[in-house]
Amino acid sequence: MKIWETERPRATIVLVHGSGEHHGRYEWLIQRFRKERFNVLIGDLPGHGEHAETPGHIATFDEYIRTVDGWLAEAGKSGLPVVLFGHSLGGLIVIRTLMETSRKPAAVLLSSPCLGLTFPPAFYLRAFAKAMNTVAPGLLVRIKRNGRNPLATRNVEQLRKDEKDPLILTKVSIRWYNELERAMTLAFEKTVDFPDVPLLVLQAGDDKIVSRDKVFEWYERLPIQIRAYKEWDGLYHELFNEPEREEVFQAALAFLEERLTALDS
């Protein structure tokens, strides 16, 4: 975990990365937020990054929840408003963390949150994963990397970096997949437990990883007062790596500006 500070900060953003990646892929977004006077707290999730004990594996989704809860506690020490940002798997973790804890950040940003898969595994593969969850939960299964199968972004430069990045996961465990499925189910079943906090959902219109229909269905179920949903036609899953990322960033910034102004009034 690291805090990237800026001069005269207005808030601290806790940034939760997605599946198979690490905090180093967020350099552009970190610097853009810092330029707008936001501190950024970011780290690697369990099973991810350079110091992962077992890359691609978790025993329970609660490991993610405890990690992000700890990051929120650290961010709160500054006394600044705290914004919670999650991309993809990170978005699902943010959702489940807020459902299971008493945290109420000043605002929440979700980027293509993983609430359903565009191309879920075939039925027989899901049945195999469930059967092996008890017998061999740590069994690792190969997944496709972005550079070889560019579904995440149209950004060619980013894809080239990913192809050479040794920290991007190429395998995940049987347990990891089962915990992902369970967390997505709970995100829908427990919408009533999502706190009444200002929320902006940023969704890729041509998302080839996460089901945009599932994301919007979840969004529509939320019983909260301040919420917004914005979708970008033609953009792929990683909105903040897409060629149009500055446009996406400006939408997120406008939402945060409005929320911070409301806090000051």
**Catalytically annotated residues:** 88, 207, 237
Q: Please give the torsion angle defined by the CA atoms of residues 140, 146, 151 and 153, in that order, rounded to the nearest 10 degrees.
A: 140
DSSP state letters, 92-149: HHHHHHHHHS----SEEEEES--SSBSSPPPHHHHHHHHHHHHH-TT-EEE---TTTS
Give me the residue label for tokens 């070889």: 148
Whether residue 1 contacts residue 42, with contact meaning beta carbons closer than 8 Å, is answered with yes
Q: Which CA distances in Å does 118 have to 67, 114, 204, 214, 240? A: 27, 10, 12, 9, 19
Distance CA 201, CA 109 (A): 6
Helix %, strand %, coil % for the chain, to 5?
Answer: 40, 15, 40
